[in-house]
Amino acid sequence: MNERCEEIVSIRHAILGLLVSGFVSISCLASASVASAEAAAPVLTGTVTARTITIADTSFRVASARPSVDPSISGTLAPGTADEYGPYYEYAYGTIVVSLNWTPTGAPMEVAFCDSSNNCVADPLSGGSGTASFTPQVAGDYTVYVINNSTSDTVTYSGSISY
């Protein structure tokens, strides 16, 4: 087990327009990283149930689910909704990478990676573009969620998923 799985990190993350300060335990499910306008943003943990994904105690309605055939992704998300992609089979220590561009650029977005047991990790993104990557420690099927974390803006996005 790596040190990242054992540490507790302080988070500061805007969720549905409210600034939430607290602590979240990094999931030992996998390591995740993010490269975006806000580099080194915290990794959040959560779960997914039928048609709803919950990250850091905030639930988002899944607007659509798409199969994992095409690496290109795009869509329009109302505030507080998510699009589902996958599942994607990834080997242990392989990497799933999601690259996104969206408008309006001021809307906060998240990319969540969930295993077949519905355990999730999410990377917050901001600034209109970003890349989130996920390296599972266990081989299996992983589903990707693109989440509009805005309370007021409808977001149009495009990007790709590679694995």
pLDDT, tens digit, 9 for 90 and up, residues 50-104: 567 777 777 777 766 655 556 899 999 999 999 999 999 898 999 999 999 999 9
The more confidently predicted of residues 133 and 39 is 133
Residue where the block lists tokens 């990790």: 121
- Predicted local confidence at residue 59, as pLDDT: 75
pTM of the model: 0.64
- Return phi, psi of residue 40, to 5°: 65, 30
**Cα dihedral: 18, 63, 108, 14 (round 10):** 20
pLDDT, tens digit, 9 for 90 and up, residues 146-163: 999 999 999 999 999 998
Q: Give the residue from 160, 148, 163 showing the smallest Cα distance to 60.
A: 148
Mean pLDDT of 2-17: 29
Cα 64 versus chain centre, distance: 15
Mean pLDDT of 11-19: 27
